[in-house]
Amino acid sequence: MGAEQMMQRSFTFEDQDDVVIFRDPAFEQNKRHAIHRWVPWIAGFSADFVVDALQRYLPNEAGRNICVLDPFAGVGTTLVESIRHGYNAIGFEINPFAALAARVKCTAFLLDPASVRAHIVTFEQRARRLTKAIDQAWARGDDLARLLPAPASRPPAAFRSRVPFFSPAVERKVLHCLDLIHAVPDPQVRDLMLLAFGSILVHVSNYSYEPSLGSRSAVGKADVLNADVAGLLSARLYDMEHDIIVYRRDMMQFQPLPEGKVINDDSRQMRRMIPDSSIDIVITSPPYLNNYHYIRNTRPHLFWLNFVSQPSDLKRFEEANFGKYWQTVRDKAAPTLLFHLADLDQTIEEISSKNQEKGVYGGRGWANYVIEYFNDCYHMNQNLYYVLKPGARAVFVVGNSIIQGINVRTDQFLGRIGEICGLEVETIHTLREKRVGNSIINSSVRNGKSCHSTLYEAAVVMRKPAL
């Protein structure tokens, strides 16, 4: 079979044993698991999936100098499970809030539970004393701005939202809680408490995830006029304390202790930071080709936790994001695909020809987006070829996408791009047909008309050839 024929073939094989080789990758499953339940994360995948990949491809390897890589670490699911199985782990994550979550979760087993408990009790007592006065003033209809003591913390000056992000009583409570958290002297405990704050931030706001972040009123939900911020924060912290005890117990079997490293940077820079042929397995889920805006959907966290101070600060993250965003590439001259894959070329041409009367809002702008996405897939696979040990595997969870009404089978293209970069496709295993995805499928921007194509997720397993 010639090289051109190999690039054109479609991977249709599944596991030959006709058994379930990976459990459901949906992040929803993580709500049942210690540590993983700390932070809701719409773009994540399940700890169960990671465990299945580790057990299938690294059996009986704990205690050896094994290193797991996640180039898109999110809130650290792959990293935490790798550490809990005795492996060292490295993760890249460009979003500072997600990187905070991953870092805190990776190192939480090093915290002293008694010290954590003492800090939580102190926080809860002080927070309830402050917020009780706010509740009483709010019930009377008093002017909260005149209530003393006033919080030292202030809302982020440049943060804007279409409707007030917090109602007045909630905002006052949030600011007092931030004062108490920032006063914690232990930096690791302080980061734990900031993560807890970030995990409830949207829950007590006038916004919600539907799945993108939008105002509650826009989807027919009532605003949150008041909320037990101190109670919710304390409850999350007590859950964290419980999980740290479980985590520490799990880790006592390992000597030396495995290490988790979180790099708040673009994973396309990995070859500057990771030695060649040093990674035993990659388990990851790259951003999907669906234009879900990972940065904008954590904008409140980035501002309220002081990772950014101006809207322009977000631009660096947006421009470095894997696959870019449609909004950032639609107006540019058509980029060039960095490799040759005839049916991908045909797909891009077909997308570009759709709804031409809409200019960049039609097929032309979306074709730019698709090209940038698969160029980044190419760079990623090039990097993984070098950092993987010979014979090591990369396991990806990816989903197909509907662009301008055209089904783009991302899993198939990703596998073939990997082959161009020297990797071998071992299997592409359909995990589930799962996403209704109205914001992805039926948007007039993406299609110009309603589309009812099936969206699915697949595990793409690639292997670096052995020497």
Query: What residues does each domain of the chain span?
Result: 3-89+258-292+313-463, 113-249
67 close to 89: Cβ distance less than 8 angstroms:
yes
Q: Which amino acid is at 360?
A: V
CA distances, 20 to each of 17, 49, 82, 108, 306 (Å): 9, 11, 21, 32, 44
Q: What pLDDT is stored for residue 42 in this prediction?
A: 74
φ, ψ of residue 188 to 5 degrees: the values are -70, -40
The four Cα atoms 179, 196, 94, 170 give a dihedral, to 10 degrees, of -60
β-bridge partners, 394: 282, 462
d(CA 313, CA 202): 21
pLDDT score recorded for residue 7: 42
Q: Is the peptide bond before 59 cis (omega within 30 degrees of 0)?
A: no
pLDDT along the chain (467 residues), means of 10: 42 47 65 86 82 89 82 95 95 95 97 97 97 94 90 96 96 98 97 98 94 92 97 97 95 92 93 95 93 85 96 86 86 92 95 91 93 96 97 95 93 97 95 58 44 81 94
Query: Are the C-beta atoms of 195 and 298 separated by less than 8 Å?
Result: no
Q: Going by DSSP bridges, is the β-strand pair 388-399/401-403 parallel, antiparallel, or unpaired?
A: unpaired
Placement of tokens 């990659």 in the chain: 282
- Measured from the Cβ of residue 256, the count of other Cβ atoms closer than 10 Å reads 9
Whole-structure pTM value:
0.90
Task: Specify the CATH architecture of the domain 3-89+258-292+313-463.
Answer: 3-Layer(aba) Sandwich (3.40)
CA neighbours closer than 13 Å in the CB half-sphere of residue 148: 0
Joined together, the tokens standing for residue 323 give 């696959």
